[in-house]
Structure 1
Amino acid sequence: MHGLSSTMAFFRLSSPAIFWVPFLAIIFYPYQILGHVLDPSTCSSPNHHSLIAERHHGLPTCPLPIDEESAIDTGSWAPWKRRPYCVEPFMQDADVGGPQFCVYAFEPFRGAQGGLSIVTMPVLAATLVNSLDDSVVPPKLRDHPSSSLAAAEKEEEEEGEEGNRTAFAIRDVPGKGKGLVAQREIRKWELVLVDYPAMLAHMDLFDVVGAETRQDLLERALKQLPERQRGELLSLARTHGGEPIEDILRTNIFGVELGIEIPHLGLFPIASRINHDCRPNVFWRWSVRTLTVEVIAMRDIETGEEITQSYVPLGLSYEDRKEDLKNWGFSCACSLCTASRSERSASDKRRARLQHIYHELNEGATGKAELTADTIYGLADEMESLVREEKLEAQLLVHYGAVARAYMRAGKLEAARKYVELCEDLWVRYAGEEEDYLAGMHQLRHELSEREKKAAARENYV
């Protein structure tokens, strides 16, 4: 993977009709704002029990934050393997330091030979304790052939069984270094890879902590990992120069959220090797509850084809993509970017038209424009054609929502329901079982339900 790929676990909309995969903003969350999440007075027990000692007796439900000072005072830092090492950055234009950043280590994590290093605030580390235990990973993910939790079982199984065969292999890819290549046919919506982070680092680390101190924290985090895992991370690509671990982190990270949607950088032993393509064939989603990333096929992938994701928002024009990719330190050589000038121009026009259609539908949905049912039908039909021609099927998720709301506004509730159901199907496909990601879908269905109730009431009144 090249560049600062802070790709979200799911898609967000940054501007009309452009799906936002990266980019996570660096936001500072004061400790006081987070503190209420783990108010000591709400804990069922005043003592923090060892997660490792109680793996089979239930996990602690309200662990208190542990920093270096409290660990020294109490002589305990469970569930962490080592006593946290903490620094308190000095904030610009402030007379006091900011919240502490500490290095935490936990192992074994997601397999006997795995570990996890975290550089974050104590209160955020505490929110992760219940997610550290392997039992929180559902069987579908735990037993997937690519999962490190299935490694021991795989060694006992006969080699070559198609059902147990990993869908990909790590290979040299011309012009890209290492990458993931399909070693069998992969079908659309298939779960390609299950991976777990080896390192997580708060994004504010790059904003409020000095370079020397930051380097010290990151090196400590790396050294705390098991030797094999440390070697896997050190073998990842580097593009920016400078200190190795920071270069690797900036080059190969996934952008994930911990706590109350607080951005962190994540390094994954395998997923971090997925390279970029402007027309990707996989997407991925992150679960903070299980500390798991799932990589899923967006379309059929043939044997020998590279597995790719997009480092930039889907739907951008050629020039916008090229500009955004400068942040990643490379020029894209995908089939879309290396097409002839006339082909790129035609693609840009189709993408611009998609944005315009989305804008028109939203204008109709909000009442800023009066759209007839025939007009909405025509826009929806054109939109679907353009989406498929540009291979932007993921954008149907937001476009279907816009069509549904436009039909609601026009009073065509049967047509609206069709698009709500289409939208809902895609939400489930892309979001999986994470309830937080489905909030937008629930809101859309609620809007339709309310309009249908009002329509039924009017009919009964008449």
Structure 2
Amino acid sequence: MELFQKFPSLFSWLVLLAILKQPFLLAQLLDPSTCSAGSHKSLSGTQHGLPVCPLPIDEESAAETGTWAPWKRRPYCVEPFMQDDDVTGPEFCLYTFEPFRGDQALSVVTTPVLAATIVDALDDSIVPPRLRVHPSNSLGEDGKINPPFTIEDVSGKGKGLIAQRSIRKWDIVLVDHPALLAHMDMFDVVGSEIRQDILEQSLKQLPEEQREEIWLLDRSMGGEPIEDILRTNIFGVELGLEIPHLGLFPIASRINHDCKPNVFWRYSVRTLAVEVIAMRDIEPGEEITQSYVPLGLSYQDRADDLNNWGFTCTCSLCAASAQQRATSDKNRQQLQHIYYSLNEGASGRSNITAAVVNDLAEEMESLVREEGLEPQLLVYYGVVARAYMCVGDLGAARRYVDLSEELWMRYAGEEQDYLAGMQQLRHELMEREKMAVTDRKSEDA
């Protein structure tokens, strides 16, 4: 059984090997000369005397050069057990950077190449001003002062975040930075004793106050304390080349689960920051909650997924009567059917009319509101827009493209990588509109 079943790896171990062995990509990562002459000044180039594109550092290179900047300590590396004559996996090394995001530190357990790709992200100045000034951010002039929440005991849940003043929809509730990042594949390919050793060392290299904060986090799965803390509190993030890692965010990890949450996360690969955003208005005294599982699942599917976290959900939706749960499940199943119908029409695999698209879109929006699944509109608006394109109602298609784009900006924020799908949708619309203009000109002629 995998240690972290709830975080399905986006890259298998063999795919990771292929990426790291790809000559051209690896050469780019290893060669500082690939940086353009006009590259922005980075932490690596201005504060530590390193080239703008830092070389990967491991125990061997550190011994040869006598330096391991910008990392605070010489890296400590371990080898994966999946090695034979034909397959040699990359080593995993522990890197610690301090100070990070004010008076904190960050420990990273990853490959030397990926560690080199995140050096710029360690620079505090890369965090946008709107996040730096948030009262929960450790980068504030006075540190974390008067955040919009308190950490309190929550019946049956351990510690949790409770709103101490009104929070409006789309407000930033919390800005948090990781204390620990660990390559996900390490948990599959490094022996348990070695893994335990490197994880314990990653905490020992953090400041005492930060360590104490982590040791106070909840434990629910049993076994070795450090891995129990990780299993209970860690979340999936990405580093560098969008390789999946596990991130421990000391404050954000306190946010408990609810199947009808009032906040969502927005993670930035560029800054390593997590923003917790209000999905709706939150009143003083209300618990701040997120969903640990994908939105839109049925009662049984949610229960099965949450079993990986070691608890049974008692939120208002799961604790409702059997009849109410059945109604909710029916609504969610109907939403899946609507998506399928719209997608079939958008792809031309079924005949569909503008009137049908309109009816399905109205029903979809009504069910989304009833079930509190507004984030899923990101997906639904896109398929509605494509369905309208397919039936030739480009005015309606444009309305839904605009709605989709607005939500993408709300949910994805400033991370342009996440907007690629949105840009593709608008491109498709523009091409359809050009074709319509050409057709009208042909008809007029």
Say whether the fold is shared (TM-score over 0.5): yes
Q: Cα distance 1:311–1:24, how it changes in 2: closer, same or farther (>3 A)?
A: farther
Q: Verify: 1:75 aligned to 2:66, yes or no.
A: yes
Structure 2 partner of 1:184: 165
Give how far 1:98 is off.
1.5
Structure 2 partner of 1:158: none
Give how far 1:154 is off.
6.5
Q: Cα distance 1:418–1:100, how it changes in 2: closer, same or farther (>3 A)?
A: same
Structure 2 partner of 1:118: 108
Give how far 1:269 is off.
1.4
Q: Verify: 1:252 aligned to 2:237, yes or no.
A: no
Q: Verify: 1:27 aligned to 2:12, yes or no.
A: yes
What is the distance in 1 between the residues matched to 2:356 and 2:182? 49
SS in 2 for 1:115: strand
Q: Verify: 1:219 aligned to 2:200, yes or no.
A: yes
Amino acid paired to 1:218: L
Give how far 1:27 is off.
2.5
Amino acid paired to 2:397: A
What is the distance in 1 between the residues matched to 2:216 and 2:34? 42
Counterpart contact for 1:60–1:130, Cα < 8 Å? no
Counterpart contact for 2:5–2:308, Cα < 8 Å? no
Structure 1 partner of 2:345: 364
Structure 1 partner of 2:92: 101
Amino acid paired to 1:54: T
Counterpart contact for 2:42–2:123, Cα < 8 Å? no
What is the distance in 1 between the residues matched to 2:281 and 2:85? 54
Q: CA RMSD in A?
A: 2.1
One of 19, 39, 61 as aligned partner of 2:52: 61
Q: Verify: 1:451 aligned to 2:436, yes or no.
A: no
What is the distance in 2 between the residues matched to 1:120 and 1:347? 42
Structure 2 partner of 1:132: 122
Amino acid paired to 1:358: Y
What is the distance in 2 between the residues matched to 1:63 and 1:219? 27
What is the distance in 1 between the residues matched to 2:424 and 2:227? 41
Q: Cα distance 1:257–1:394, how it changes in 2: closer, same or farther (>3 A)?
A: same
What is the distance in 2 between the residues matched to 1:192 and 1:5? 29
One of 312, 316, 334 as aligned partner of 1:335: 316
SS in 2 for 1:424: helix
Structure 2 partner of 1:241: 222
Bigger mean CA offset, 362-371 vs 146-155:
146-155
Counterpart contact for 1:5–1:252, Cα < 8 Å? no
Give how far 1:259 is off.
1.4
| Uncovered stretches (5+) of structure 1, i.e. residues with no partner | 7-21, 156-164
SS in 2 for 1:307: strand
Q: Verify: 1:141 aligned to 2:131, yes or no.
A: yes
Q: Cα distance 1:418–1:219, how it changes in 2: closer, same or farther (>3 A)?
A: same
Render the CA deviation track for 1:411-436: whole Å, top value 9, x for unaligned. Answer: 00001000000011000000001000
Q: Cα distance 1:246–1:26, how it changes in 2: closer, same or farther (>3 A)?
A: farther
Q: Verify: 1:317 aligned to 2:298, yes or no.
A: yes
Give how far 1:26 is off.
5.7
State the TM-score, normalized to the length of structure 1: 0.89
How many residues align structurally? Answer: 431
SS in 2 for 1:437: helix
Counterpart contact for 1:127–1:259, Cα < 8 Å? yes
Structure 2 partner of 1:166: 147
Q: Verify: 1:353 aligned to 2:338, yes or no.
A: no
Bigger mean CA offset, 31-40 vs 421-430:
31-40
Counterpart contact for 2:136–2:144, Cα < 8 Å? no
Give how far 1:4 is off.
5.6
Render the CA deviation track for 1:4-39: whole Å, top value 9, x for unaligned. Answer: 696xxxxxxxxxxxxxxx654463212324624413
Amino acid paired to 1:382: E
What is the distance in 1 between the residues matched to 2:49 and 2:395? 48
Q: Cα distance 1:52–1:428, how it changes in 2: closer, same or farther (>3 A)?
A: closer
What is the distance in 1 between the residues matched to 2:300 and 2:85? 41
What is the distance in 1 between the residues matched to 2:313 and 2:248? 22
Give how far 1:361 is off.
0.2
Give how far 1:90 is off.
2.4
Counterpart contact for 1:281–1:307, Cα < 8 Å? yes
Give how far 1:224 is off.
0.4
What is the distance in 1 between the residues matched to 2:4 and 2:316? 22
Render the CA deviation track for 1:162-186: whole Å, top value 9, x for unaligned. Answer: xxx4111111010010011101111
Counterpart contact for 2:263–2:289, Cα < 8 Å? yes
Counterpart contact for 1:59–1:130, Cα < 8 Å? no
Structure 1 partner of 2:81: 90
Give how far 1:97 is off.
4.0
Structure 2 partner of 1:293: 274
What is the distance in 1 between the residues matched to 2:433 and 2:351? 20
Counterpart contact for 1:50–1:79, Cα < 8 Å? no
Render the CA deviation track for 1:364-394: whole Å, top value 9, x for unaligned. Answer: 0000111111111000011111110111111
Whose RCO is larger (CA < 8 A, sep 6+)?
1
Give how far 1:396 is off.
1.0
SS in 2 for 1:404: helix
SS in 2 for 1:296: strand
What is the distance in 1 between the residues matched to 2:379 and 2:307? 27
What is the distance in 2 between the residues matched to 1:207 and 1:42? 35
Structure 1 partner of 2:287: 306
Q: Verify: 1:207 aligned to 2:188, yes or no.
A: yes
Counterpart contact for 1:181–1:307, Cα < 8 Å? yes
